[in-house]
């Protein structure tokens, strides 16, 4: 019993912190959503439906692309020489040394209509003179993938290093090609890493606000932009809260599902 009391005493500060700065604000946000008139029904109008749908599929595509890039990388990197592994990891982490905002604005400079990249591509006749690299859906997708790829690589690499590669040989020995061994043995083997990577990419993607705001146009707005507009321009706190709550649910439901799946796997 005394041990239990000590445990509570030790964890109390962190619980206190979380309750004060996370749980209470979240509840407040949820509560604000019910404040105005017709707030809840207003966010389910066609205006938001399009944007919500776009947010979800952009995030899903980002997640899928990040995973498909990170998986082969993890597979080969985990078996590479220690020196090469260290070098690659350094390259993956390096972007975090500069500010996220700075990097997004760097993309803007890079893709600018008067920028070097577009001029070179036009000169080489790879793109038409009237093609814009900036302010469209594709740009948002590319920059999101760029930004969140490390969050997919790191957990997948961490699991790949622990993976027993003689299982790949065993599968090949039993008649599998290396490709089918990758899908039948490697992917299930690092399942936990894949799940973590998916969650780590999907959550920031769905709440993305800066990326579509800086490099996207009006046709590539995401739900994060709408929330910002409701707060900064309209000062409509209840509607912003309702949208935020909706976003929260979109994020929480997949996590709940993955937690459930994981617990079942452990059992």
> In the complex, what is the shortest distance from the CB of residue 261 to other proteins, in angstroms, rounded to a whole number?
14
Q: Beta-carbon neighbour count of residue 261 at 10 Å? A: 12
> In the complex, what is the shortest distance from the CB of residue 178 to other proteins, in angstroms, rounded to a whole number?
8
CA distances to 75, 173, 176, 196 from 164, in Å: 11, 15, 17, 19
| Sites of contact with other proteins (CB under 8 A) | 164, 166-167, 169-177, 180, 185, 188-189, 191
> In the complex, what is the shortest distance from the CB of residue 180 to other proteins, in angstroms, rounded to a whole number?
7
Question: How far is Cα 29 from Cα 22, in angstroms, rounded to an integer?
Answer: 11
Q: Which letter does DSSP use for residue 128 in this model? A: -
When the beta carbons of 50 and 170 are compared against other proteins, the nearer one is 170
Closest CA to 189 of 168, 228, 163: 163
When the beta carbons of 110 and 167 are compared against other proteins, the nearer one is 167
When the beta carbons of 185 and 206 are compared against other proteins, the nearer one is 185
**DSSP reduced 3-state for 60:** helix
When the beta carbons of 13 and 175 are compared against other proteins, the nearer one is 175
Residue 64 sits at the vertex; the CA angle it makes with 223 and 155, to the nearest 5 degrees, is 100
Instruction: Scan for tokens 């707060």, then name that residue.
Output: 231
> In the complex, what is the shortest distance from the CB of residue 90 to other proteins, in angstroms, rounded to a whole number?
27
Closest CA to 244 of 44, 29, 91: 29
**DSSP reduced 3-state for 178:** helix
> In the complex, what is the shortest distance from the CB of residue 8 to other proteins, in angstroms, rounded to a whole number?
34
When the beta carbons of 38 and 164 are compared against other proteins, the nearer one is 164
């Amino acid at each position: 019993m005394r041990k239990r009391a000590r445990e509570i005493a030790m964890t109390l500060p962190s619980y206190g912190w979380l309750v004060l700065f996370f749980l209470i604000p979240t509840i407040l946000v949820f509560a604000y959503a019910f404040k105005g008139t017709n707030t809840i029904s207003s966010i389910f109008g066609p205006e938001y439906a399009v944007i919500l749908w776009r947010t979800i599929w952009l995030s899903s595509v980002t997640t899928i692309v990040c995973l498909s890039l990170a998986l082969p990388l993890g597979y080969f990197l985990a078996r590479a020489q220690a020196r090469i592994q260290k070098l690659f990891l350094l390259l993956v982490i390096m972007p975090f040394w500069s500010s996220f905002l700075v990097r997004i604005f760097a993309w803007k400079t890079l893709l600018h209509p008067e920028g070097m990249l577009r001029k070179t591509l036009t000169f080489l006749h790879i793109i038409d003179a009237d093609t814009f690299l900036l302010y469209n859906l594709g740009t948002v997708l590319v920059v999101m993938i760029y930004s969140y790829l490390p969050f997919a690589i790191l957990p997948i690499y961490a699991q790949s290093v622990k993976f027993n590669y003689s299982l790949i040989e065993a599968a090949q020995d039993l008649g599998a090609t290396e490709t089918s061994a990758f899908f039948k043995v490697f992917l299930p083997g690092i399942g936990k890493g894949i799940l973590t990577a998916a969650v780590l990419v999907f959550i920031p993607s769905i709440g993305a606000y800066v990326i579509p705001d800086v490099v996207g146009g009006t046709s590539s707005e995401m739900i994060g932009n709408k929330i910002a507009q409701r707060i900064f321009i309209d000062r409509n706190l209840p509607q912003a809260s309702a949208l935020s709550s909706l976003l929260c649910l979109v994020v929480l439901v997949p996590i709940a599902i993955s937690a459930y799946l994981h617990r079942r796997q452990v059992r």
